[in-house]
Structures are given as structure tokens and as C-alpha cells.
């Protein structure tokens, strides 16, 4: 077996409207609703949004809000430009810009929380045209 990529993961939200607004307005993800199932798409991945624990089967053993901690990789701008953009959109930055190590090596990261309290890390890899 060879695992290649993450296709999707699930976030549980207490407020679908606030959740979607954050990920669309602040992070620029695309909200899609198909067959009553909500997701946020970016690149070749997506985040499925459930409005209550256990909404769709099968589901995690202990689904709930505010327990996620994940990193999204950003391209096309430096971390300083990213920070300026986030601040202009009213995002509350918890930490950053700080050095971190991601799956591909050294990167610079900014941390913020979504409306449900999930920790969202935004990373830019060093050495890319966008890391300065």
C-alpha cells in the first residue's frame, strides 16, 4: 500500500453559516453543497462540514467541535503579505509569522482559529518563490 495524499477531512460546526463565512471570506475556500452535504474545496482537496456529530455514517468515534488542528499550505504570496491580507479581512491572528517544519521541510506559519475554535495553521514553504 502507498498512501499518496489527503482527499478530505471532516469538521463539525455549531453554526454552518459562520463556519462557511470564515472559510470563504477569510481563507478563500469554495463552499459547495451537493445533496445536502456541505464542503469547502481548495486545490485537489476538500473539508467536509457536518452540522452535528454523527450527521453522516460512518463517523468518528468522538466527533465534536473545536478539536481539529491542521495546516493548509498557501501559495502565491509571502507570509508577510498573507498576514497583511488576513488582518485586512478582520482575522484574529493567534500566532505568527513563526518558523515551523512541515511535511516538505522548513516553512513559515500563521495560526488563527475558526468560529468553532479549531486551530488553523497557514504555511508557506521556505525556498519557494512565495516564502519571503
CATH of the domain at 43: 3.10.180.10
Instruction: Compute the distance between CA of residue 116 and CA of residue 15 in angstroms, rounded to an integer.
Output: 8
Has residue 70 been placed in a domain?
A: yes
* Catalytic annotation present for 55: no
Q: Are 13 and 21 in contact (CB under 8 A)?
A: no
The catalytically annotated residue of 75, 94, 121, 126 is: 121
**Total of domains in the chain:** 1
User: Does residue 131 belong to any structural domain of this protein?
Assistant: no
Supply the mean pLDDT for the chain.
92
Give 18-63 pLDDT, tens digit per residue. Answer: 999 999 999 999 999 999 899 999 999 999 999 876 667 777 777 7
Return the minimum-mean-pLDDT range out of 39-43, 63-67, 82-86, 96-100: 63-67
Res. 128 pLDDT band, cuts 50 70 90: low
Enclosing domain of residue 23: 8-124
One-character DSSP codes across the chain: -------EEEEE-S-HHHHHHIIIIIT-PEEEEETTEEEEEETTEEEEEESSTTSSSS--SS--SS--EEEEE--SS-HHHHHHHHHHTT--EEEEEEEEEETTEEEEEEEEE-TT--EEEEEEETTSTT--
Amino acid at each position: 500500500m502507498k498512501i499518496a495524499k489527503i482527499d478530505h477531512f471532516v469538521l463539525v460546526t455549531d453554526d454552518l453559516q459562520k463556519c462557511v463565512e470564515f472559510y470563504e471570506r477569510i481563507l478563500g475556500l469554495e463552499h459547495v453543497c451537493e445533496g445536502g452535504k456541505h464542503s469547502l474545496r481548495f486545490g485537489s482537496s476538500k473539508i467536509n462540514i457536518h452540522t452535528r456529530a454523527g450527521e453522516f455514517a460512518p463517523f468518528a468515534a468522538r466527533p465534536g467541535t473545536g478539536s481539529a488542528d491542521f495546516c493548509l499550505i498557501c501559495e502565491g504570496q509571502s507570509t508577510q503579505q498573507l498576514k497583511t491580507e488576513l488582518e485586512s479581512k478582520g482575522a484574529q491572528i493567534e500566532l505568527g509569522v513563526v518558523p515551523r517544519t512541515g511535511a516538505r521541510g522548513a516553512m513559515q506559519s500563521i495560526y488563527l482559529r475558526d468560529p468553532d475554535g479549531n486551530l488553523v495553521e497557514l504555511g508557506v514553504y521556505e525556498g519557494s518563490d512565495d516564502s519571503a
